[in-house]
């Protein structure tokens, strides 16, 4: 059941699809744990943080993680 506050939901009128597309278009990779891997050497922007906060509040998704390695399969 949706739980994000109205201000945060207003930032993402397209809902989950808009927030996930925004992150994935910027190189984030969604893991099976519902966490997003931050692209290497990337600084998180306010808009990206807003997207993940929306997904966390709305649907209890995970958060951001940094890959402990470069290369390989982030889904392993």
Judge contact between 51 and 16, C-beta under 8 A: no
Alpha-helical (H) ranges within the chain are: 6-11, 15-25, 46-59
Tokens representing residue 25 in the block: 């278009």
Closest CA to 19 of 55, 68, 61: 55
Tokens representing residue 70 in the block: 């470069």
Convert the pLDDT of each residue in 7-57 to its tens digit: 999 999 999 999 999 999 999 999 998 999 998 888 999 999 999 999 999
Judge contact between 62 and 56, C-beta under 8 A: yes
pTM: 0.81
């Amino acid at each position: 059941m949706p739980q994000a506050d109205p201000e945060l939901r207003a930032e993402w009128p397209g809902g989950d699809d808009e927030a996930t597309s925004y992150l994935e278009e910027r190189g984030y990779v969604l893991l099976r744990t519902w966490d997003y891997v931050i692209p290497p050497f990337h600084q998180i922007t306010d808009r990206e943080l807003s997207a993940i906060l929306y997904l966390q509040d709305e649907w209890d998704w995970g958060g951001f993680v940094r890959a402990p390695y470069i290369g390989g399969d982030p889904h392993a």
